[in-house]
Copies of this chain bind each other. A is one copy, B any other.
Amino acid sequence: MSLDKAHHYQTLAKHFQSISHFEHLSALGDWDQATMMPIGGGEARGAAMAELATHIHNLKTAPMLADTIKEAQQEALTAEQQANLREMNYQYLQANAVPADLVKAKTKAAYRCEQAWREQRKHNDWQGFKPNLETLMSLVKEEATIRAQTLGVSPYDALLDKFEPGMTTAKIEHIFGQLKSWLPSLIQQVQAKQISEPRYGIPAATASDQALLGRDVMETLGFDFNHGRLDISSHPFCGGVSSDVRLTTRYDEADFTSGLMGIIHETGHAKYEQGLPLAWRGQPAGLARSMALHESQSLFCEMQIGRGASFLKLIQPLLKQRLGCQLSHQQLTNIYTRVSPGHIRVDADEVTYPCHILLRFEAEKSLVSGELAVADLPDFWSAQMQELLGINTDGDYKNGCMQDIHWAVGELGYFPSYTLGAMYAAQFKQAMEQRLGSVEQAIETGKLSDVMTWLEANVWSKGSLLSIDELMIQATGETLNPIHFKHHLENRYL
C-alpha cells in the first residue's frame, strides 16, 4: 500500500507535531515556575501560560480535526499509524468533551480554592475550605456528567478515563475489594514482626551533599544527564519533555532518606520518559501510556529496586562517600522497609500506602455520585482511617482530608493510579523474573542494566502504541492481576 496517499493522516501528524512543540514550552514554563522563577515573576508568567493553554486547546479542537480524523480512518495506514490515529482521536475527544466556558469556570474556581487552601491547611481551617470545595465540586460533577454523556459511561468513570484510558469503577472496585480483604491484616502481621527490630539514627547531611549523592544514584539507575537535569522544588516532580527530563526533589538536612528515595522514585518516571520511542517523539503515540503506568515505573524504581537489599548494598558506598553515612546496607534496608501507619499519604510506607488510596477512591466515587456531601467528608475520613489503619483523625483536617492538593485543584479520578501503579510494578517484576531470574540477584551481580533493558523493551519503547491491556498481556501474559502485589508484599515483609 502506498503510504504517500495517507495525506489526511499526514496532515494530522503535522498538526499534532505542532501541538507537541507548544506543549514543550508549557512543560518548560511549569518546570521553571516550580524551580527557578522568582515570586514576582508569577503574574506575567501566569498570563503567558494561560495564553499558551488556550492556544493549545484551540489547536486540539481545531474545526478541521473532526473530518480529517474521519478521512484518515479510511486511509491505508500501518498498525503503528493506526495506533497514533487512535491516540489523536482520543486527545481530540478529550479536548472537545467539555465546553470552553466550563473549563474556564473550573480553572478559575480551582485556582481560587488552591490559593486559599495553601493558607487554610496551615490553620486546620476546614470551615474556610469547605465552601470553596463545594463550589469546585459542583463544577467537577458538571464536567464529569458531560464527559460521561460523550463517552457513554458513568460520571466517575469519565474522570478515571482522563488518567487511565479504559479504566472503570467496576474494575477498580473488584481490584480494591480484594486488596481490602487482605491488606489490613497484613499490616498487623508486619507490625507485630517489626516491633522487636532495632531502630537506627539517621545522620545529618547538607542539601548540597545530598544533591551530589542524588546525581550519583541517578547515574547508577542509568538516568541520561545529556537529556535531563536534577533541581530543587518544594514538591518533587518529573517534568520537562522526553528529550530533556526535568526532575526535582527537596532535601531535609536532618533526614536524607526521604529525599533520596524521592529521587529514586522520580528517576523511575524519568527513565520511562527518556525511554519512550524515539521514532514517535512529538506524536500522541509517543507519549506515556497512562498515569498508572507512569506510576508503575516510578514505583518499580522505588519499591522493586530502590528499597531492596541489593540496591541499597550497591549504593551504600556512595552514601558513605558523599554523606559520611556509616549505616550498613542491612541497616538501610531496615530503615527503608519500616512499616508504620500514619496520617500522611506521601509519607506512607509501601504497605500502608494503599490504604490511603482505598479511602480516597471511596470518597471521590461517592462525592461524584452525590452519595457523599462535602460537609460529611471529615466524618467519612475519620471512620475510614479508623477502619483501615486504626488511626484517630477526628478534627485533624490539616493531616486529614485537607492534606492533598488533588481535590483542592478539582482533580478527581487520579488517586487510584498510585496503587494501580504499584500493582503493575509488582506484575512486571514477576514477569521479568521468569525471564531474568531474581531481580535482587541481577542487581547483586552488577546486572541492573538487564532490568532496565526489560522495562525499556516491554514498557517504555511501547509509548502509547498499545492499549494498557495489550501492553500488559504482551509484557506479562495477562491483564492487571493484583495477586502479584500481594505476593510482593508478603515476600518482602513477612
Contacts from A to B (Cβ < 8 Å): 18, 21-22, 24-25, 28-29, 32, 36-41, 43-45, 47-48, 50-52, 55, 224-229, 240-244, 281-282
Q: Which of B29, B36, B43 is within 8 Å of A25, CB to CB?
A: B29
Inter-chain contact B51/A22, CB cutoff 8 Å? yes
Q: Using Cβ atoms and an 8 Å threshold, which residues of chain B touch A229?
A: 36, 38
For A244, list chain B residues within 8 Å (CB). Answer: 37-38, 40-41, 44-45
Minimum Cβ distance to chain B for residue A130 (Å): 33
Question: Which residue of B has the minimal Cβ distance to A228?
Answer: B38
- Between A36, A43, A281, A282, the greatest number of chain B beta carbons within 10 A of the residue's beta carbon is seen for A36
**Given A22-B51, A51-B18, A51-B22, A227-B41 contact (CB < 8 Å):** yes
Alpha-carbon gap, A22 to B226, bound state (A): 27
For the complex, give the distance between the alpha carbons of A24 and B390 in Å: 51
- Contacting residues, chain B, for A282 (C-beta < 8 A): 44, 47
Instruction: Tell whether, in the assembled complex, residue A22 and residue B38 are in contact, meaning their CB atoms are under 8 Å apart.
Output: no
Chain B residues near A240 (CB-CB < 8 A) = 41
Nearest Cβ distance between residue A285 and chain B, in whole angstroms? 16
Q: How many Å from the CB of A43 to the closest CB on chain B?
A: 7
Subset of 28 A-B contacts with CB under 8 Å: A21-B47, A21-B50, A22-B51, A24-B44, A24-B45, A24-B47, A24-B48, A25-B48, A28-B28, A28-B32, A36-B36, A36-B229, A37-B244, A38-B244, A39-B226, A40-B226, A40-B227, A40-B243, A41-B227, A41-B240, A43-B243, A44-B241, A44-B243, A44-B244, A44-B281, A44-B282, A45-B244, A55-B55
CA distance A36 to B245 in the complex (A): 12
The CA-CA distance from A29 to B24 in the complex, in Å, is: 10
Q: How far apart are the CA atoms of A37 and B244 in the complex, in Å?
A: 7
Taking a contact as CB atoms under 8 Å apart, the answer to whether B48 and A22 are in contact is: yes
When chains A and B are docked, how far (Å) is the Cα of A73 from the Cα of B77? Answer: 53
Q: Is A227 a contact of B25 with CB atoms below 8 Å?
A: no
Is B32 in contact with A224, judged by CB distance below 8 angstroms? no
Q: Which residues of B contact A44 (CB under 8 A)?
A: 24, 241-244, 281-282
Please, which residues of chain B bring their CB within 8 A of the CB of A228?
38, 41
Known: A25-B28, A25-B29. 10 other contacts (CB 8 A): A22-B52, A25-B25, A37-B244, A38-B229, A40-B224, A41-B228, A44-B241, A44-B243, A44-B244, A47-B282
Query: Do A21 and B51 touch across chains, with their CB atoms under 8 A apart?
Result: yes
C-alpha gap A347/B404 in the complex (Å): 54
A441 CA / B196 CA spacing, docked (Å):
75
- Bound form: Cα–Cα A16–B24 in Å: 23
Q: A35 → chain B, closest Cβ, in Å?
A: 9
* Complex Cα–Cα for A55 and B50 (A): 16
Bound CA span A37–B246, Å? 9
State the Cβ distance, A47 to closest chain B Cβ, in Å: 6
The 4 closest A-B CB pairs, nearest first, are: A41-B244, A21-B51, A40-B226, A24-B48
CB neighbours (8 Å) of A28 from chain B are: 25, 28-29, 32
| CB atoms of A227 and B38 under 8 A apart | yes
In the complex, residue of chain B having the shortest beta-carbon distance to the beta carbon of A19:
B51
Nearest opposing residue in chain B for A26, CB measure = B25
